[in-house]
Amino acid sequence: MRVLIDECLPKKLAKELSDFEVVTVPDAGWAGKKNGELLKLASKEFDVFITIDQNLIAQQNISRTDLSVVILSAKSNRFKDIQPLVFKIVKSISSINPQTVVTIKA
């Protein structure tokens, strides 16, 4: 499973998801891309996109891609607020279907 982590999330999250092939948006060379363009690029190379952007689904039509999206709902995007969600993230990614949106709450 290839996973792309949004640039608004801490890079440390990638290390916590070692069961998967994980790349961050900056490491993919896509830093600064707008959501529509980013999702289009991501859908060609990745299975899952992880973000904390709560508005992504309202702004983008995920059904136009084969990409699944995991939206994190945490107090902030700092690692200390994201780390407690790691178990739920791994569980969700392991069973997620294409074009699915999953929200994981703290």
> What tens digit of pLDDT does each residue of 90-105 get?
999 999 998 899 999 9
Mean pLDDT of 4-17: 96
Give the pTM. Answer: 0.94
For β-strands 101-105 and 48-51, DSSP reports them as unpaired
For 63, the token pair is 């059904």
Q: How many Cβ atoms sit within 10 Å of the Cβ of residue 47?
A: 18
Per-residue pLDDT reduced to its tens digit, 61-90: 777 788 999 999 999 999 999 999 999 999
Tokens 């059904």 map to which residue? 63
Which band of pLDDT confidence, cut at 50, 70 and 90, is reported for residue 59? confident
Print the domain residue range for 38.
2-105
**What per-residue confidence (pLDDT) applies to 58?**
74
CATH number at residue 40: 3.40.50
Mean pLDDT of 41-58: 91
For 37, the token pair is 């363009």
Overall domain count for the chain: 1
**To the nearest whole percent, how much of the chain has pLDDT over 70?**
100
**What per-residue confidence (pLDDT) applies to 102?**
95
Contact between 106 and 52 (Cβ < 8 Å): no
